[in-house]
Structure formats: structure tokens, C-alpha cells
A and B are shown apart, each in its own frame.
Chain A
Amino acid sequence: MAAHTDTAPGQAGEAAWTQDAILAAVATLVGEVIGEDYLEGIPITMATSFADDIEMESIEFVALAERVRERFGDKVDFIGWLAEMELDEIMGLTVGQLVGMILACLTS
């Protein structure tokens, strides 16, 4: 993941991931998936809704899942998390819920 310029806690095994660091990393991944042009003016916060605020499309959510898996590794069980949700729950997700799931996986 040489393209990432944000700090990458956890990669060297020393620093622990924080909520803010995960949020920043997720915001970068969202920008990669849907294009920074489309994100212009839309802040990515914990309260940002994938559907209502970013208007993320379903296939883009798959692409985001792929990037989260690449970025955070097997400890983050994105697929197991999706399996617990119905479609309307997935599409109602906020960035904060995703960040919270990642944080819980990485600190468990």
C-alpha cells in the first residue's frame, strides 16, 4: 500500500490504532473508491452516512470492503460483519459504524 501517505499505526506492530487514525484511513479509502472529485466539499466524519451523504453505490461499497480488507488485514472480519446485517442496515451504515467495527476488531 505504498500509495498511502497517512500514518499507518499498527503496521510496524508498535503503535495502536486510534479511532481518529482509523477514520482518517477510511476517509482516504472512500476517496479512492468514489473519486476525490465527488467528495469535494463533503467532510467524512463519524456521522457521515454512506448512502445519504456520500451517495455510495452498492458496487462501490464492495470496492470499499475490498480496500478495508487490504488496509487492515484479516483481523478485520468485514465479511462476517456484513453477514450479520440485512441489506437495509448495510445501506444505512455511517462511517462511524464502520470505524467502530474496525477499531473493535483491531483492539480485541
Chain B
Amino acid sequence: MPYVVAGGLRFHVQHLGAGSPVVMVHGLFTGSAASWYLGAAPVLARRHHVVCYDQRGHGLSDRPERGYDLATLAGDLDALTGDLEPFALVGHSYGGVVALRFAVDRPGRVTRLVLVDSFTPAEGDPIPGVSDATAHAGAISWTDVVNKAIRSRRPRRKSAAVALADSTSLVADIRVAGQITDDELASIAVPVMCIAGESSPFGDAVAALAHKLPGAHTVTIPGGHALTVEGGEMLDRLLVEYCDV
């Protein structure tokens, strides 16, 4: 299996295809490299070198107890993509926030951004409805949609998400406000496409983030928050068109 050690942790990293690079970051808790690998990544890989990885605590990567603040998650992304030429960067949910932090910290390394139903905390406030987000993600997780794993004899996926929430600092870390400021968001100079799920419970927060990004345009497509599951061909096509320039 393709593993890379960074910062003392082992990360699962997948490379698909060849061409100009596209890096894809999944959302928290029930997300993993599979969110992209079994969705848009193979389609993009027809013309791009696609990199998708399991963020710390997720999928087949190590799950440390601490270190889930935004700067550290963006640092992981930096460490795992250091040998790439400047790339298009795609993030789902909080993976999009990680992408934004990276774009602020490493402005020369990102050519364009795609945020898929992503939102940031309002200034001074915790992330809106983080517990709701967790519950929502759990309610429409892969396992629930297709695997019925919650009543599985092998409920490992569910327990991994629960372990993340219960046994690591992730929830506390992402609740810390001010990890990316409005001024920093306004400084992002590359084009940004925001893709919103028309029935996402985070619609207002998604729109508010897009409003803070000077280079952003928003496309709304059918589906809820879990667009890597629900976005289907429409999401694939948007990503291909945006990354193929």
C-alpha cells in the first residue's frame, strides 16, 4: 500500500493518472481518500495526475490523539504534496477549509480552488452546528447509504468516526475560532469555484464563505452536504471542466 511518513505519522496517499496535478482533500469523520477515489478522482485521472489521501485520523492513515487544528491539517497537505508542481486543489466540507488555509499559507502552490459544500466559522464563533454536521455526516455516511454497516457485524467504519470524535482532540480543535480570518480569505488571489448542495443544511454558511472570497463563483447542484456521494456525474463534470483549463 502507498504510505508516506510525514511529521512522524503514516499517511495513506493514492496517485491516479497523469497530467497536470489535482489534489483532493476529503471531509472529516466519515470521509477518506475513498470519498474521491470512488467518485470524481478516476474521471479527473483521465487527464490529470490526481492525488487523494487520508487526512490524519481518517481511513488508513494514523490516528493521533491530538493535532487536528487547521494549521496542522494544512501542514499535512503541504508535507504530502511538496514534490508537486502548482496544482488545482479540491476540498469537500472541512477539506475545503484545509485547502483554503493551505492556499493562504502557500499562495504560489495552488492554481485554482474548488470548495465542495465548505464553510468556515464566523468570526468569534465556533463552527456552526459542528455536532449537527457530525450527526448529518453519520446519517448519510457511505455505510448507511450502501453498506448498512451500522447494523453490520463489522462496524469498523462507524467506530472509526466515533473514535475520532470521542478519543481525539478533533472536535475541540476545529471548534477553535479564528483559524482562518476574513482578511486571509480576501487575500486568496486564485479562482475559486464553490459547489453547493441545494439541500445542504449548511447553505447559508456555504454562501457566506463564497461571499468572502474575491475570486469565487458558486454553482448549486442537486444533493445535500455529502456531495462526494450524491453529486454524481454533475459533480464530476464541473470538476473536469474547471480543472481542464
Contacts of B54 in A (CB 8 A): 59
B interface residues, how many (CB within 8 angstroms) = 34
Q: Is A72 an interface residue (CB 8 A)?
A: no
Q: Which residue of A lies closest to B149 (CB)?
A: A55
Binds A, one of B30-38, B100-108, B169-177, B208-216: B30-38
Number of A-B residue pairs having CB atoms within 8 Å of each other in the complex: 77
Evaluate contact between A83 and B153: CB separation under 8 angstroms. Answer: no
State the Cβ distance, A63 to closest chain B Cβ, in Å: 6
Q: Is B137 an interface residue (CB 8 A)?
A: no
Evaluate contact between B154 and A65: CB separation under 8 angstroms. Answer: no
Q: Is A13 an interface residue (CB 8 A)?
A: no
Interface residues of A in 37-87 (CB under 8 A from B): 38, 51, 55-59, 61-63, 65-67, 79-80, 82-83, 86-87
Q: Which residue of B lies closest to A83 (CB)?
A: B42
State the Cβ distance, B224 to closest chain A Cβ, in Å: 14
* Known A-B contacts A83-B42, A83-B45, A86-B233; A61 and B34 likewise in contact (beta carbons under 8 Å): yes
* Known A-B contacts A79-B45, A83-B45; A55 and B147 likewise in contact (beta carbons under 8 Å): yes
Evaluate contact between B37 and A57: CB separation under 8 angstroms. Answer: no
* Known A-B contacts A38-B154, A59-B54, A66-B2; A51 and B147 likewise in contact (beta carbons under 8 Å): yes
Binary CB contact string for chain B from 16 to 48 against chain A (1 if under 8 A, 0 otherwise): 110000000000000011110111001101100
Evaluate contact between B43 and A59: CB separation under 8 angstroms. Answer: no
Contacts of A66 in B (CB 8 A): 1-2, 14
Evaluate contact between B38 and A58: CB separation under 8 angstroms. Answer: yes
Q: Is B156 an interface residue (CB 8 A)?
A: yes
Q: Is A6 an interface residue (CB 8 A)?
A: no
Q: Which of A59, A65, A83, A90 contacts B59 (CB 8 A)?
A: A59
Evaluate contact between A63 and B60: CB separation under 8 angstroms. Answer: yes
Interface residues of A in 1-56 (CB under 8 A from B): 34, 38, 51, 55-56
Q: Which residues of B contact A (CB under 8 A)?
A: 1-2, 14, 16-17, 32-35, 37-39, 42-43, 45-46, 54, 59-60, 142-143, 145-149, 152-154, 156-157, 229, 232-233
